[in-house]
Amino acid sequence: ILNVEQSPQSLHVQEGDSTNFTCSFPSSNFYALHWYRWETAKSPEALFVMTLNGDEKKKGRISATLNTKEGYSYLYIKGSQPEDSATYLCAFTTNSGNTPLVFGKGTRLSVIA
């Protein structure tokens, strides 16, 4: 069974704080790791897709790193703003067969002004 673990489950930070969360996944047969942001009452929106060990991606104040050998990815948000409040989902796929994205439970971030 493919399992993706995300921590923490939820997080409250003050506006301006920087924060980070973790996604752990099986390291064998890895193909790609996706991060999505899901704001309340909206659709999940892709942030990053990473495939190579050591990949680092950045979009504005948000960045992500990938370690495929040990099976984890970090998502960083610098200088959190209230509009960053959302659930951040990670999902991975393997190169074993034709498998769909397997999602974690997400980290719910609340940024307090």
Partner 1 sequence: GAGVSQSPRYKVAKRGQDVALRCDPISGHVSLFWYQQALGQGPEFLTYFQNEAQLDKSGLPSDRFFAERPEGSVSTLKIQRTQQEDSAVYLCASSLALILRAGELFFGEGSRLTVL
Site for partner 1, rule CB under 8 A: 4, 6, 31-32, 34, 36, 41-46, 49, 89, 91, 93-95, 98-106
C-beta of 89 vs 111, nearer to partner 1: 89
- Cis bond before residue 100 (omega within 30° of 0): no
C-beta of 38 vs 76, nearer to partner 1: 38
| Shortest spacing between CB 93 and partner 1, in angstroms | 4
C-beta of 43 vs 70, nearer to partner 1: 43
41: helix, coil or strand? Answer: coil
C-beta of 1 vs 113, nearer to partner 1: 1
> d(Cα 93, Cα 103) in Å, to the nearest integer?
9
| Shortest spacing between CB 52 and partner 1, in angstroms | 14
Q: What is the dihedral of CA 100, 61, 74, 99, to 10 degrees?
A: 10
CA distances from 108 to 29, 31, 38, 43, 97 (A): 28, 26, 9, 15, 31
| Shortest spacing between CB 15 and partner 1, in angstroms | 27
The CA-based angle 8-4-72, given to 5 degrees, is: 75
| Shortest spacing between CB 18 and partner 1, in angstroms | 25
